[in-house]
Amino acid sequence: MGRSLATGADRAEGAARTRLHPGWVVLALALGIAGPAAAQARAEPAKVTYQEVERGVWVGSNLGAIYFFDLPGEGAAASWGSVVGVEAGVDLGKWVQLGVVAWGHSVGAPADYRGITDDELDPKRSRGDFQSLLVGGSLRVAFLGFPDENSLDRTFVYARVAGGATLSRPVGIVDEQGTFAAAGLGVEYFTRLRHFSVGLELQGMGLVGDAGTALGVAMLPNLKYTF
């Protein structure tokens, strides 16, 4: 009997020694929960958020038509032509755009058109068509915006002013060098392709030189890419 009692006491003492401390149980549970959560976080990449409409530095192109209803000189009261150009600039917020322009137009004037009537300035007595390159600065200010179905402004109505220097050829039809000024209204739509926008602009334009001023209007569809 003594041997049996001693053996029971030893077993009780051994069981007490092998009993887990509550702190170890809590630590094991915490590690068991945190391990799968950490693995899931590593498996799921961070979400990238894109702007619906990009703003910043941009480049654009124009291809349209111009109508001069008042040409200086002799032989043509009005003439049509084509306009092609490039622009580059930066958005100052969503309402203001500041940039530079380079427009070129080719005007199909009558064969007897003579812009410069002074023989000393035009000894060759040049006549007919002429081409001009216009380079300068541009400021566009939007004053009206229209939201889409997600309440995001995508369509803007704006006013533009531009001005700079001109270079015309052939020499003698109109002033070889001069200045230009332009002002007008346009509409721009920022497409679902978030880097691209399209627009249409109607502007009045004047070419100013010593021989006089050529006044006209231009219709300019445009395409713009924002980086």
**pLDDT by residue for the chain (227 residues), tens digit each?**
444 445 555 555 555 555 556 656 555 555 555 555 555 555 556 666 667 889 999 999 999 999 999 888 777 778 999 999 999 999 999 999 999 999 999 998 887 787 776 666 665 666 788 899 999 999 999 999 999 988 999 999 999 999 999 999 887 778 889 999 999 999 999 999 989 999 999 999 999 988 888 999 999 999 999 99
Tally the domains of the chain.
Answer: 2
184 located within any domain: yes
User: What is the distance between the alpha carbons of residues 78 and 216, in angstroms, rounded to a whole number?
Assistant: 9
Q: Which domain holds residue 162?
A: 57-226
52 located within any domain: no
Residue type, 83: V
pLDDT for res 44 = 58
Residues contacting residue 201 through CB under 8 Å, at least 6 positions apart? 160, 184, 185, 186, 187, 218, 219, 220, 221, 222
Asked if 75 and 134 sit in the same domain, the reply is yes
220 located within any domain: yes
Asked if 15 and 74 sit in the same domain, the reply is no
7 located within any domain: yes
Longest dimension (CA), the chain: 145
Asked if 120 and 25 sit in the same domain, the reply is no
pLDDT for res 74 = 78
Asked if 106 and 176 sit in the same domain, the reply is yes
49 located within any domain: no
Asked if 33 and 137 sit in the same domain, the reply is no
Asked if 30 and 82 sit in the same domain, the reply is no
Q: What is the CATH number of the domain that holds 153?
A: 2.40.160.20
- What is each CA distance from 51 to 47, 127, 152, 189, in whole angstroms? 13, 53, 11, 15
3-state secondary structure of 157: strand
pLDDT for res 2 = 46
92 located within any domain: yes
Asked if 26 and 79 sit in the same domain, the reply is no
CA proximity to 114, closest of 172, 183, 163, 64 = 172
Query: What φ, ψ does residue 92 adopt, rounded to 5°?
Result: -105, 80
